[in-house]
Chains A and B, each alone.
Chain A
Amino acid sequence: MNGNKKTLLEVKNLETSFSTWEGMVHAVNGVSFKLSEGETLGIVGESGCGKSVTVLSLLRLIQSPPGKIVNGTAFFNGKDLMKMTEKELNEVRGSQISLIFQDPMTFFNPVLTIGEQVMEPLKLHLGVSEADAQARAIEILNMVGISNPEERLKDYPYQFSGGMRQRAMIAMALICSPQILIADEPTTALDVTVQAQIVDLVKKLRDELGMSIIWITHDLGIVAGLVDRVAVMYAGYIVETADVMELYKNPRHPYTIGLLGSLPRLDETERRKLASIDGIPPVLFRSASTCPFAPRCPYRIDRCFNENPMLRNVGDGHEIACWVDVVNHKEQV
């Protein structure tokens, strides 16, 4: 669906690492992607693969120390977010690029009212008066489906249910009408029924407001109808990217195949194990010259331990980082 649309954000070779007691954690290892106007990009991958660090790095919100953006550019409207001054960046944050987070409880400040927090970006970026900010907040809270917003503005986060909090978080992110909304697993902490409501809400808001979205998840199923394109991450690398339907029908990277639960040659137990490994994958400490997935890969060949495959095009915007053509089960060059 993209191609003819203008590129809004272009990330190249983004690399972020953390220095810890156990050594350098290479959380993001040269991630590149593009986001066009109106496009929704899904980033999937299991816990700890670097999804959050990737998007936080974009707005340079990584806590430093221990974190450090080692390399990379991220051009947004022609300017490199990585090179902007703190002041310029603050004008982008919350106004042109907004973030929503996984746990709307901890990401809201418990001692400030929902209203104060939702209005804050508006006052900060547009300097509007209290009355105007309030009117706009009521409008946007209405839009995200919070009933009786005049009253609820005065409530504190813990007086909201989980789903309502996430709606309020979305309202807070959208109040300045950003060009890009970054959603970091916004439904993970919610009940299944509420998850679907939130996804529907964002879909509706996107159609009304026309922003681009980066949606992080580890559950591809729930966002299938929302995202246009998917980037699959593993151990800080993007290992496969394709349009969503193509990826579903025709996954090419062994990890994606495992993630989608459709790996033909793996038995049940192994499949479940693959999808549920969490914590820090030890591969984050490893050297960059092997394929990060090789130790768990059923298709691995010797080459995988000597050379890390780069992303390569396998046709029609479908890219994978793998030495093996899994479909035909043979090595590729």
Chain B
Amino acid sequence: MTTYIIRRILLVPLLLFGVTILIFGMLQFLQPAERAALYIRDIPKNPEALESVIRNYGLDQPLYVQYWNWLVGRKNLTTGEISGGILRGDFGYSRVGSEPVIDMIKNRFPATLELALWAFLPIIGVGVWLGVESATHHNKFIDQFARVFSIIGYSFPVFVFGLLALMLFYGKLQWFPPGRFSNWVLAEINTGTFTQYTKIMTLDALLNWRLDIFWDAIRHLILPVITLSYVSWASFLRVTRSSMLESLHQDYMVTAKAKGLPERDAVRRHALPNALIPVVTLAGFTVVMLLGGVVITETIFNFPGIGSAAAEAAAQLDVVTVLGFALFNGFILIFANLVSDILYAVVDPRVRLSSL
């Protein structure tokens, strides 16, 4: 187990290198003038000033020099100031956000993280539960129901679902508003009567012991969480159902019943642990999807996470910002991959103990 984990961790720098090369490669499609946004705020309109920026930041240098600069930053030849350098946490300057890309990520990520935290459990819990139930009641009512449910989930576009939910629960019923919090909460934040320790609203509300604000945050989370769950349930249901059906027909289930285990216990103790193995991989992907910012859902519900931020940047052709987010996403992907590899080993001893 330890060797397995060490191997996986050793792989991380390699993957990080791959991601940076990929993003850097994409940056090369930009004009040097646009790439200047990696180092400075305002790109000068005047061609001579621009020329000096390009020279100052080495944007005309060979690629490997530029890559290095991009990684560690570049000293301005005239002022001696260092700017840029993703390893220094400088992802460039965002035109759309009028702030450094990294600050934009820092400001927006807590919202995405909060949404992910609240969505993850219902997605996995309900999806896996439905999958198990429909496999153990193969072709019975719940299985048929789950089948219809997953067909709808796959074929009914998420933006239609989201908009309908918004129309009904906000437009008509006024139950669940869009956005992240109500104006009165914003006022409290601005006047300092509510302290944002983590920028995760529900958590901060508890830390401030303000149940009214907690409830306000929940009301804003419900629709996006349901919309996100709705897209993912279908895939969790399907994966769980089919791997469960497969497990139920394995020989070891005959052994389990021959031991005298009641059906339910045989399913729980013997089929389920095997059936969950592919679910772990899917869960890993889902985490990446959720943390990478869910563009459509965040946009529909006006939820200020990194998904909607990336969408705004893309709409305004702010490529440096978009690629900054892509880089951040790449890091999350690598991290989530590591976690799901480790989880994979926890649930499957063959993986854990093989020499891979």
Contact = CB atoms under 8 A, between A and B. Distances in A.
A106 B250 contact: yes
Interface SS majority for chain B: helix
Nearest to A159: B353
A61 B251 contact: no
B262 A156 contact: no
22 contacts: A56-B254, A61-B258, A94-B258, A94-B260, A98-B258, A103-B251, A106-B250, A106-B251, A108-B255, A109-B270, A109-B273, A109-B274, A110-B252, A110-B274, A110-B350, A111-B273, A111-B277, A111-B350, A113-B349, A124-B259, A156-B350, A159-B353
Interface in B21-58: none
Contacts of A248: none
Interface stretch (A23-31, A85-93, A224-232, A277-285): A85-93
A172 B261 CA distance: 14
A56 B347 CA distance: 31
Nearest to A156: B349
B256 interface: yes
Contacts of B106: none
Contacts of A98: 258
Given A61-B257, A92-B260, A124-B261, A108 B353 contact: no
Contacts of B348: 110-111
Contact of A158 (B252, B256, B258, B350): B350
Contacts of B255: 99, 101, 107-109, 117
A125 interface: yes
A113 B250 CA distance: 17
A23 B36 CA distance: 75
Interface in A74-118: 86-87, 90-95, 98-99, 101, 103, 106-113, 117
Contacts of A87: 262
Most A C-beta atoms less than 10 A away, residue of B256, B260, B269: B260
Nearest to B352: A156
Contacts of B262: 86-87, 90
Contact of B273 (A59, A106, A112, A121): A112
Contacts, number: 76
Contacts of A107: 251-252, 254-255
Given A101-B251, A103-B251, A111 B349 contact: yes
Given A90-B262, A108-B255, 8 more contacts: A59-B258, A93-B257, A109-B270, A109-B273, A110-B348, A111-B274, A111-B347, A111-B349
Contact of B258 (A63, A99, A106): A99
B349 to A, nearest CB: 4
Contact of A156 (B249, B347, B353): B353
Contact of A101 (B249, B254, B347): B254
B267 to A, nearest CB: 12
A91 B252 CA distance: 19
Contacts of A117: 255
A108 B252 contact: yes
A120 interface: yes
A144 B307 CA distance: 61
Most B C-beta atoms less than 10 A away, residue of A92, A107, A121: A107
Contacts of B273: 109, 111-112
Contacts of B252: 106-110
Most A C-beta atoms less than 10 A away, residue of B254, B255, B269, B273: B255
Most A C-beta atoms less than 10 A away, residue of B252, B256, B273, B277: B252
B250 to A, nearest CB: 7
Contacts of A121: 259-260
Contacts of A156: 349-350, 353
A110 B349 contact: yes
Contacts of B274: 109-111
Contacts of B347: 111
Interface string B234-262: 00000000000000011110111111111
A92 B257 CA distance: 11
A181 B104 CA distance: 70
